[in-house]
Structure formats: C-alpha cells, structure tokens
Chains A and B, each alone.
Chain A
C-alpha cells in the first residue's frame, strides 16, 4: 500500500518570506499523481498544485512551486512571499494511476507570523 509522510507537523514563517513543506511517499507504481491541498480553518479542501509522475518539470502555480524528486520519492512544496491567507493545514496526497482514492499525509500546519 502507498504511504505518504509529512514529517513536519507544524511550520512557522514570517510574512513575505519563503517556506518549504516536505513530503515523501512510498510506492511501487510508475504511473501516479501527486497533489498538495490546503485546508484553512473553514475546513474546505482546496487544490494548490499537482504533479504528474511522468513529467520531469516541476509544477508551478504563481507563488507555489514543487520540487519533485522521483527517484527519492520526494514532493516538497515551496511557498514564496508568504501571505497571511496562506495560513492553513497543508496535505500532501498521492493517487495511483489506476485508483480513484487519494492517500493523504498527516498534514503540516502552516503558521504565518505578521
């Protein structure tokens, strides 16, 4: 079974600075997808960024980018120019190529210091 590990239960960063959230996963599949979801206090799950395993180029969405290291099975999220609205729980998620369900990590609580 696939597992997703987020080793940082909580991270704190000053507003306008850069922070990196780590995620590692374990799988024997070659075809899969990786996601970062944000869950603010409202509890809504919001897709931040996604990455297809077959793509070597790291995904980028405005201030959010990933560092995807397939051989190391690592998928970290970098948030640049942190804003107060970025404060939330961030979940890393894995989806196998033939499956529907997402496997989530335990989450990282991101705190933005003004």
Chain B
C-alpha cells in the first residue's frame, strides 16, 4: 500500500540558509500534518492543512511557513535556519473526519543545520 512520502530523506544546511521539505500524502488523504522531533525529544505538532487551508496551528516558528497544494501535497519552508532547527521533521496524513483513527506518518526528513 502507498505510504506518506517525504523528500528529501536527509538535508544539510548552513545557518541562515533556507530549506524546503516536501510531503506527499497517501492517495485520497486530504489532510496533512507537520511535526518536529528534536534529538531525544517527543514530536511537536507544527501545523496542519485541509483542502489547502490551514486547519490547526501548533508551535511553528514565525520563520517557518507551509502550504498545501491542489494535489494535496504539502511543503514546509524554513528560513533563517538556526542550529536548534536540527531535527527530524515528520509529515502525516489522514482523511478529514477520520483523523481519530490515527494518522499515517512518513519516514521523516532529517535536517541538520551546521
């Protein structure tokens, strides 16, 4: 079965650079969620989108922005990168109205800021 696809798997950036992470949800899933997991930490909810509109917002820094496109894929844009942004970034997807069944997570993008 198709899963949530995230690209790239690994990314190395320097401080103050910009990064773009991509997420392709499971077919027919219309809602995507972004999470940040620092080293040895639990995942923190950043933001979610449903039908290209922001649905819910968590602890996303102002330097980050995200959007969902008409094909339901989503991109997380991160600017002015800081060392503390080094983390595993997960995308998850679900069908609206069925999120209580649990999300399906992608394998994550590991971002390293040097």
Contact = CB atoms under 8 A, between A and B. Distances in A.
Interface of A: 33, 35, 37, 42-47, 50, 52, 91, 95, 99-107
B108 A107 contact: no
Nearest to B99: A100
Contact of B45 (A91, A103, A105): A103
Contacts of B103: 47, 102
Cβ-closest 6 pairs across A and B: A101-B45, A100-B56, A45-B105, A104-B42, A100-B48, A47-B102
A44 B106 CA distance: 7
A105 B90 contact: no
Nearest to B107: A44
A101 B56 CA distance: 7
Contact of B90 (A45, A100, A103, A107): A45
A45 B44 CA distance: 13
Interface in B25-83: 31, 33, 35, 41-45, 48, 55-56, 58
22 contacts: A33-B100, A37-B105, A42-B107, A43-B88, A44-B107, A44-B108, A45-B90, A47-B102, A47-B103, A50-B101, A95-B100, A100-B31, A100-B48, A100-B56, A101-B45, A101-B48, A101-B56, A101-B58, A102-B43, A102-B103, A103-B45, A107-B42
A62 to B, nearest CB: 16
Interface residues of B, number: 25
Given A99-B56, A100-B99, 18 more contacts: A33-B100, A37-B105, A43-B107, A44-B105, A44-B108, A45-B43, A45-B90, A47-B102, A47-B104, A50-B102, A52-B100, A100-B48, A100-B55, A101-B33, A101-B48, A104-B43, A105-B42, A107-B42
A91 B107 CA distance: 16
